[in-house]
Amino acid sequence: MQQAAQAYGKVAQQTLGPRELEAHVLLKAATRLQRVRDAWDERQGELDEALTYNRKLWTVLATAATAETNPLPREIKQNIGNLGIFIFKRTVEVMMQPSPEKLDALVNINREVAAGLRAMPAAPPTGA
């Protein structure tokens, strides 16, 4: 079963566009964190791995989004950079004083950013 999931993941990565791929990995990170949060007593041992995955993901996202060569508007770059800083600070807080409630913000941010990436631009109005 694990091999089938890995094969599917590879195919998905090859067929998804960049925005959809970013949304996919954000949701994957959110799911991992949510699983730990939902079964805190049983899954707390998975916390460091889930936090590390999320932190690495946000390191890549924030670095790419705020790069000087990135064509995003300055305001969006700043917003993504600020989200990255918040993610990193919250990750340290959770690592130093673990509690399931502290994961909520990380999960919600990942889900909201993924939803924004998946949102399709409105179709231009057609002439009547």
Could you tell me what percentage of the chain is helix, strand and coil, using 3-state DSSP and rounding each to the nearest 5?
A: 80, 0, 20
pLDDT in tens, the chain (128 residues): 556 445 445 544 556 688 899 999 999 999 999 999 999 999 999 999 999 999 999 999 999 999 999 999 999 999 999 999 999 999 999 999 999 999 999 999 999 999 998 985 533 444 44
Domains in the chain with CATH codes: 15-118 (1.20.120)
Which pLDDT value is given to residue 44?
Answer: 95
Number of H-type helices and E-type strands within the chain: 6, 0
Determine whether 33 is exposed, middle or buried from the number of CB atoms within 10 Å of its CB (0-12, 13-18, 19+): buried
Amino acid making up residue 81: G
CA distance 25 to 17: 12
